[in-house]
Amino acid sequence: MDNVWQNAQRQLANVAKELELSDDMLAYLSEPEAVHIYTVPVPMDDGTTKVLTGIRAQHSLARGPAKGGLRFHPSVSVDEVKALSMWMTWKCAVVDIPYGGGKGGLVVDYKALSPHEQERATRAFARRLLPHIGPDFDIPAPDVCTGAREMAWIYHEYSNYVGHPEPAVITGKPIELGGSQGRADATGRGVALVVQRYFEMHDETLERKRVVVQGFGNVGQWAARVLSKMGAIIVGVSDSRGGIYASEGINVEAAIEYKESEGKLIGFTGEEIPNDELLELECDILVPAALEGAISKDNAKRIKAGVIAEGANGPTTPDADAILEKKGVVVLPDILANAGGVTVSYFEWVQNRQRMYWNLHDVHQRLRDMMRDATDDVGKVATEQELSWRRAAYMLAVKRVADAIKMTHPDLDGHG
Ligand code: GLU
């Protein structure tokens, strides 16, 4: 089984040589600046108290405050959070927003808790996090199994702690509490914008391109919705319970409605298909939008998509990357493809700090411009240096972070 943290470190090491990073710079970037591990006691409805584990890793603050989501899931581990925090550093650098990288997680089967237990768990975790977060230091956001509701509770705990409302401490809030227009759809929309720009660069449109989406949470649903509006046909979708295939195309709105009411996709119109087979369907674009490691050395050779757009963080292992590259499959990497979420988080933070709010049109326009510029930047490096898109994105991102560090630690410059 691949270790996600070792994979993240390997991806960094892969570009360190070409960037002529010194060994000390590589060592510095290879570990988070801080990792906090908390006990989180949560009173349950039955009168018992469960002690959960909460984690927050701050990988880098070199380019600005740490930024990244909070994930509430049973598979959360210290290694996973460290990897995700490092990926946030690169992601923020790729889209060139003034943030470093962070990530947090609560090890819990969150969906199995009652609504009151969920609130108590979130608030208890927030109280542990309070001394280590802040609008100028570390700004959490939604991730797997968390959304606007959880962000509101954390915002509330933090505001009580500092003694005044402080919306800029967290992003992905409800609009009523200073959330941004367009934040909920931003990650999925960003995936679609990057894919669209990639096809434009190759003088193609998304008209009738066949798309498979693995994972039908916030990111998968919005990616499917926006890609189908752009003219693509969604032929396969799946969630953790199983998938649906329809060669003539799936009605995305109806599928979202079905998933909302039934809590799953199986049973919806179309042919039922197991998750592993869904990834191997014949299609033009595959969007893995679930968890890490979905595409590994075990299934990479059977992937038939021409382009993979990583809606999830870390869905392709480095071994799988090598196989896909050999096969000529283009991987639009997570740190570019799913950066729309953190980009609109940045807009939200800017609006909170200015106490001035933008309309949806402005948010969409700015997101579009930033995603297209970042795609062009990465594409340029990929073409000029004949690199895979992942390698190109890493070259760009790691260089930006290392250049910032060198300003305050000239001794870490590798050219000496
Ligand atoms: N959790 C999202 C990500 O992985 C968003 C992070 C944020 O908005 O800070 O990019």
pLDDT digit string, tens, across residues 233-249: 999 999 999 999 999 99
Cβ of residue 67 lying under 6 Å from some atom of ligand 1 = yes
For residues 208 and 238, the answer to whether their CB atoms sit within 8 Å is no
Assign 274 to helix, strand or coil: coil
Per-residue pLDDT at 415 exceeds 70: no
Two tokens at 69? 């989501």
Stretch 375-397: mean pLDDT: 97
Ligand 1 pocket member 342 (CB < 6 A) = yes
| Among 133, 147, 59, CA closest to 103 | 59
**Rounded-to-integer distance, Cα 174 and Cα 176, Å:** 5
What is the set of active-site residues? 103
Mean pLDDT of 272-280: 96
Q: 348: Cβ below 6 Å to ligand 1?
A: no
Residue 234 tokens, joined: 């969604």
The widest CA-to-CA distance across the chain, in whole angstroms, is 63
- Ligand 1 atom closest to 139 (CA): 9
Bridge partners of residue 35, in order along the sequence: 57
Mutate to test the pocket of ligand 1, among 56, 87, 88 (most ligand atoms within 8 A of CB): 88
Q: In terms of pTM, does the model score above 0.85?
A: yes
CA of 142 relative to ligand 1 center, distance in Å = 6
Task: Locate the ligand 1 atom nearest the alpha carbon of residue 144 and give its number.
Answer: 1
The CA 303 to ligand 1 mean position distance, Å, reads: 27
Pocket test for ligand 1, best of 63, 143, 363 (most atoms within 8 A of CB): 143
- Confirm if 297 and 324 have CB atoms less than 8 A apart: no
Which whole-number Å values give the CA distances from 215 to 219, 237, 315, 339, in the listed order? Answer: 8, 7, 11, 17
Q: Which amino acid is at 406?
A: K
Record the tokens describing residue 403, joined without a space: 């250049």
Whether the predicted pLDDT of 347 surpasses 90: yes
Judge if the beta carbon of residue 68 lies within 6 A of ligand 1: yes
Ligand 1 atom at shortest distance from the alpha carbon of 313: 4
For residue 265, the SS3 value is: coil
Task: List all residues 6 or more positions away from 352 whose beta carbon is below 8 Å from its beta carbon.
Answer: 135, 167, 168, 178
Residue 36 token pair: 């906090």
Q: How confident is the model at residue 416 (pLDDT cuts 50, 70, 90)?
A: very low
Q: Given ligand 1 and candidates 342, 344, 347, 367, which is best to mutate, with the most ligand atoms within 8 Å of its CB? A: 342
Segment 178-188, tens digit of pLDDT: 999 999 999 99
- Residue 63 pLDDT > 60: yes
Tokens matching residue 266:
């199986």
For residue range 198-208, what is the model confidence (pLDDT) as tens digits?
999 999 999 99
Sign of CA dihedral 136, 138, 144, 146: negative
Domains along the chain?
29-177 (3.40.50.10860), 186-337 (3.40.50.720)
Query: pLDDT at position 414, please?
Result: 67
Q: Does ligand 1 lie within 6 Å of residue 69's CB atom?
A: yes
* Ligand 1 pocket member 171 (CB < 6 A): yes
pLDDT at 413: 84
Q: Which tens digits make up the pLDDT trace of 146-190?
A: 999 999 999 999 999 999 999 999 999 999 999 999 999 999 999
Mean pLDDT for the stretch of residues 283-301: 96
Ligand 1 atom with the shortest distance to the CA of 172: 8
